């Protein structure tokens, strides 16, 4: 769906999240019950893990605002499902507006990278790399993503296989460890 006109200019700091939400065209909510098989332990089906608001831009890019609740499922920190893009040429930029988190990326050859993603920071996700974000803080983790309109989301590959690494609380601290289920 392409808008027929342009969007008005808008600012996006953590204080402006409501402006983004009021311009959004699409809303996705993920509770524990929507994420069966993603965490090592089963999550309370009613527990809110994250929400995504999308703005379909009028031209070449779309934007996503992800708000992730703090918390864990067992000892595993709240995370997004993670996805590959259906388009092999679609890369993406992520910026953290608020909170404390991480991003894990995995290539089609299962090469793995993890990076911190904290307020004021951002990361580049190259095309061909699956990506998942994780809230390791004790407040909402709010992210802005910008991606090409034709990116598409492929969740199935991650649902089947998972990521090689997961983020667990170990001795009170977030740690990236090997995924025993991979």
Q: How far is residue 139's CA from residue 127's CA, in Å, rounded to a whole number?
A: 30
Q: How far is residue 77's CA from residue 74's CA, in Å, rounded to a whole number?
A: 8
Closest to Fe ion by CB, 90 or 167: 90
Shortest reach from residue 10's CB to Fe ion, in Å: 22
Closest to Fe ion by CB, 54 or 92: 92
Shortest reach from residue 180's CB to Fe ion, in Å: 26
Shortest reach from residue 165's CB to Fe ion, in Å: 18
- Cβ partners under 8 Å of residue 43, min gap 6: 31, 32, 33, 35, 49, 73
DSSP classification of residue 47: -
Closest to Fe ion by CB, 53 or 72: 53
**Checking phi first, is residue 164 left (phi over 0); if not, alpha (psi -120 to 50) or beta?**
alpha
Q: How many CB atoms lie within 10 A of CB 129?
A: 19
Q: Diameter of the chain by CA atoms? A: 53
Six token digits for residue 62: 């779309």
Using CB under 5 A as the binding criterion, the count of chain residues that bind Fe ion stands at 1
Shortest reach from residue 83's CB to Fe ion, in Å: 6
Exactly one of 54, 76, 92, 140 binds Fe ion (CB under 5 A); that residue is 92
What are the φ/ψ torsions at residue 32 (nearest 5 degrees)? -50, -40
Shortest reach from residue 162's CB to Fe ion, in Å: 17
Site string for Fe ion, 16-55 (x = CB under 5 A): ----------------------------------------
Q: Is 76 in the site for Fe ion (CB under 5 A)?
A: no
The span of 11-19, 38-46, 88-96, 116-124 binding Fe ion (CB under 5 A) equals 88-96
Shortest reach from residue 5's CB to Fe ion, in Å: 26
CA neighbor of 71 nearest in space, from 142, 115, 134, 163: 134
Closest to Fe ion by CB, 91 or 169: 91
What residues make contact with Fe ion under the rule CB under 5 A? 92
């Amino acid at each position: 769906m392409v808008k027929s006109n342009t969007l008005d200019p808008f600012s996006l700091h953590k204080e402006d999240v409501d402006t983004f939400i009021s311009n959004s065209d699409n809303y996705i909510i993920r509770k524990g019950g929507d994420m069966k098989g993603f965490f090592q332990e089963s999550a309370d089906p009613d527990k809110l893990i994250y929400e995504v608001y999308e703005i379909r831009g009028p031209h070449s890019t779309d934007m996503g605002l992800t708000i992730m609740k703090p918390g864990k499922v067992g000892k595993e920190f709240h995370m997004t499902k993670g996805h590959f893009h259906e388009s092999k040429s679609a890369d993406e930029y992520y910026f953290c507006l608020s909170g404390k988190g991480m991003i894990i990326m995995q290539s089609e050859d299962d090469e793995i990278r993890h990076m911190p993603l904290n307020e004021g920071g951002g990361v580049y996700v190259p095309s061909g790399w699956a990506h998942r974000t994780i809230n390791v803080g004790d407040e909402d983790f709010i992210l802005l993503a910008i991606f090409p309109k034709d990116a598409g989301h492929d969740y199935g590959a991650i649902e089947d296989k998972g990521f090689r690494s997961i983020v667990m609380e170990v001795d009170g601290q977030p740690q990236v460890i090997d995924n025993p289920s991979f």
